[in-house]
């Protein structure tokens, strides 16, 4: 008899959908399995104002194929010029669900991000008052700090001081990659959550660098040592409400990754759920997969779980493309390095 697993339809609480031809190609890859996603605002130019978020939301919905249901949960890109009143109005209307903090220079299209945290104090105070979450890319950009230490240093130098200075601010530590990130997330109350990506549960830094450089395993924050991957696995499979899925699925056309200066990002939308079922089964935690993919994130954002369900069935190897074609070039699908056997049905 085949093994099946029925889950509430999942949510992806950290997703890059891009725009134009890339959006058209990648959106169905997420909408096939996910009911909603927190959509990242690091377009060029970034999505800074409520009006820009409304326009981007309309472009996403226009790109959604007939017959697919998917709700984009919009975010604003925090700049030093962000107007607290605009943020409050965009949140009050239900359009915007969070604000994303990129330290300037930390990652793809983060140039307009924050350099001086004093300049965003007013916005953060408004957000604390209205309960709007701040999604944080948690890496310092100080060139003196080793790239593998940037998350842990950010927690001490930036995140903890900002949280202490802004009581009540709800924070999501995005794509945590370290044992220190897991421990800090656990030190908080209901006002602190953390997303974990699919790929950081699967790869460590050896996967990127041993036997030749593997650009499709390069993302930011970069994968760390094996002990950190194991800490992330323990957190994700714990069922604890503070940990939830944010894939950080981040498409870049292959020529931009297979490049002397390759872009950061793993594209996991296509096979994320099959990979997660594999990971949770390996760790004896299939009964906690639904909490991670479909319940904890919704609860953090004050949403009901999706009404629909998906069924995963264990059987023949899952067939998925090595690349998807997009009008902006081919995009390589994340390779978990093992055959997957959990097929996702409707």
Considering the complex, what minimum distance in angstroms separates the CB of residue 42 from ligand DOR? 5
Residue 107 found at the interface with ligand DOR (CB under 6 A): yes
Count of residues touching Zn ion (by CB under 5 A): 1
Q: How far is CA 120 from CA 171, 174, 175, 265, in A?
A: 15, 19, 22, 27
Least Å distance, CB 18 to Zn ion, is 11
Token pair for 57: 């939301």
Segment contacting Zn ion by CB under 5 A, of 51-59, 146-154, 211-219, 245-253: 245-253
Complex with Zn ion: residue 109 or 238, whichever CB lies closer: 109
| Chain length of the chain | 346
Partner from ligand DOR, Zn ion, none binding residue 108, C-beta < 5-8 Å depending on class: ligand DOR
Give how far Cα 100 sits from Cα of 14, 110, 127, 205, 252, Å. 10, 11, 12, 26, 20
42 binds, among ligand DOR, Zn ion, none (CB under 5 to 8 A by kind): ligand DOR
Identify residues 307-326 at the interface with ligand DOR (CB under 6 A). Answer: none
Q: Among 80, 108, 112, 186, which residue sits at the site for ligand DOR (rule: CB under 6 A)?
A: 108
Size of the site for ligand DOR (CB under 6 A): 11
Phi, psi (5° rounding) for residue 225? Answer: -65, 165
Q: Which of 11, 12, 86, 248 is catalytic?
A: 248
Q: For residue 156, what are the contacts with CB-CB under 8 A and spacing of at least 6?
A: none
303 binds, among Zn ion, ligand DOR, none (CB under 5 to 8 A by kind): none
DSSP assignment, residue 201?
Answer: G
Instruction: Please say if 248 is a catalytic residue.
Output: yes
Least distance CB 135 / Zn ion (angstroms): 9
Q: Which of residues 230-289 bind ligand DOR (CB under 6 A)?
A: 248, 250, 264-265
SS3 category, 111:
coil
Residue with tokens 């981040």: 250
Q: Toward ligand DOR, which CB reaches closer, 239 or 262? A: 262
The dihedral through the CA atoms of 162, 164, 168, 174 has a sign that is positive
C-alpha–C-alpha distance, residues 163 and 168, integer Å = 8
For the CA atoms of 337, 220, 133, 188, the dihedral, rounded to the nearest 10 degrees, stands at 80
- Continuous segment of H or E residues that includes residue 217: none
**Residues classed as catalytic:** 248
Site residues for ligand DOR per CB under 6 A: 16, 42, 107-108, 137, 219-220, 248, 250, 264-265
């Amino acid at each position: 008899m085949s093994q099946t697993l029925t889950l509430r339809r999942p949510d992806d609480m950290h997703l890059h959908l891009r725009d134009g031809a890339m959006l058209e190609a990648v959106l169905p890859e997420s909408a096939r399995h996910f009911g909603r996603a927190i959509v990242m605002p690091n377009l060029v130019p970034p999505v800074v104002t409520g009006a820009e978020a409304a326009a981007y939301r309309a472009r996403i919905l226009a790109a959604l194929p007939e017959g697919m249901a998917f709700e984009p949960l919009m975010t604003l890109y925090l700049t030093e010029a962000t107007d607290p009143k605009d943020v409050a109005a965009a949140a009050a209307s239900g359009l915007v669900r969070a604000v994303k903090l990129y330290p300037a220079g930390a990652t793809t299209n983060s140039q307009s991000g924050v350099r001086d945290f004093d300049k965003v104090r007013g916005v953060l105070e408004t957000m604390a008052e209205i309960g709007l979450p701040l999604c944080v890319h948690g890496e310092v950009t100080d060139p003196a700090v080793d790239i593998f230490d940037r998350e842990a240093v950010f927690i001490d130098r930036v995140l903890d001081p900002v949280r202490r200075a802004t009581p009540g601010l709800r924070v999501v530590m995005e794509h945590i990659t370290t044992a220190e990130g897991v421990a800090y997330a656990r030190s908080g109350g209901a006002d602190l959550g953390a997303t974990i990506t699919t790929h950081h549960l699967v790869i460590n830094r050896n996967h990127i660098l041993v036997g030749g450089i593997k650009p499709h395993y390069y993302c930011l924050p970069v994968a760390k040592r094996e002990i950190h991957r194991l800490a992330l696995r323990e957190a994700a499979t714990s069922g604890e409400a503070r940990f939830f899925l944010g894939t950080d699925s981040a498409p870049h056309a292959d020529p931009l990754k297979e490049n002397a200066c390759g872009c950061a990002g793993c594209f996991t939308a296509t096979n994320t759920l099959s990979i997660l079922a594999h990971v949770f089964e390996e760790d004896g935690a299939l009964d906690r997969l639904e909490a991670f993919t479909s319940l904890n994130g919704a609860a953090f954002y004050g949403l009901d779980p999706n009404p629909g369900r998906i069924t995963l069935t264990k059987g023949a190897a899952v067939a998925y493309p090595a690349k998807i074609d997009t009008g902006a070039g081919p995009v390589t699908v994340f390779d978990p390095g093992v055959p997957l056997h959990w097929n996702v049905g409707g």
